[in-house]
């Protein structure tokens, strides 16, 4: 099982490096989505990484994570980004990087038996550590594709 997690961690690192490389080509002011620039995108991803870190830590300790995303993902995204509104671009970048380091540490420290054990997801339903990691990889890859498309075609609507 650890090989599967190691593979997922490698994919997470690859996808993050891919997104970071694309972000380096963008100016901080580029609007990626309506009302979302590069800083807000980082704040959005940070919010999800922090949520997952909290859920994974709780699950790792044999406790049940709280349901945090009670009013839907869109509202969670809006609140998460809004809560970081006052951060500078550099502070948002630091939080974005730190949240991912924390996430990978929690995954690497997870007891092996917890990796595939189902637990209540903080957004509802059941999940496993591996299923959440797959979602995060897909999520970040999708944002990388949208940003890349926006940089090559400024009229691109995501």
Q: Yes or no: say if 127 and 118 are a contact pair by the CB < 8 Å rule.
A: yes
Tens of pLDDT along 70-128? 888 989 999 999 999 999 999 999 999 999 999 999 999 999 999 999 999 999 999 99
Q: Yes or no: say if 81 and 36 are a contact pair by the CB < 8 Å rule.
A: yes
Q: Whole-prediction pTM value?
A: 0.93
Cα 37 from Cα 31, distance rounded (Å) = 4
Q: Yes or no: say if 148 and 33 are a contact pair by the CB < 8 Å rule.
A: no
Q: Which helix (H) or strand (E) covers residue 16, if one does? A: helix 2-25
Cα 138 from Cα 150, distance rounded (Å) = 18
Domain 2-152 is in which class?
mainly alpha
pLDDT given at position 158:
55
Q: Yes or no: say if 78 and 90 are a contact pair by the CB < 8 Å rule.
A: no
Tens of pLDDT along 4-27? 899 999 999 999 999 999 999 998
């Amino acid at each position: 099982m650890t090989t599967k997690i190691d593979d997922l961690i490698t994919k997470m690192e690859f996808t993050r490096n891919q997104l970071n490389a694309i972000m380096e080509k963008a100016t901080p002011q580029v609007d990626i989505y309506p009302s979302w620039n590069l800083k807000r995108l980082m704040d959005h991803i940070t919010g999800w990484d922090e949520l997952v870190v909290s859920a994974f830590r709780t699950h790792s300790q044999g406790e049940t994570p709280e349901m945090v995303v009670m009013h839907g993902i869109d509202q969670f995204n809006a609140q998460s980004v809004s809560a970081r509104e006052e951060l500078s671009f550099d502070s948002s970048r630091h939080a974005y990087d730190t949240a991912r380091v924390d996430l990978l540490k929690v995954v690497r420290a997870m007891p092996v038996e917890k990796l595939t054990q189902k637990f209540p997801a903080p957004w509802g339903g059941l999940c496993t550590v591996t299923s959440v990691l797959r979602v995060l990889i897909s999520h970040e890859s999708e944002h990388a594709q949208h940003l890349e498309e926006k940089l090559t075609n400024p009229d691109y609507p995501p």
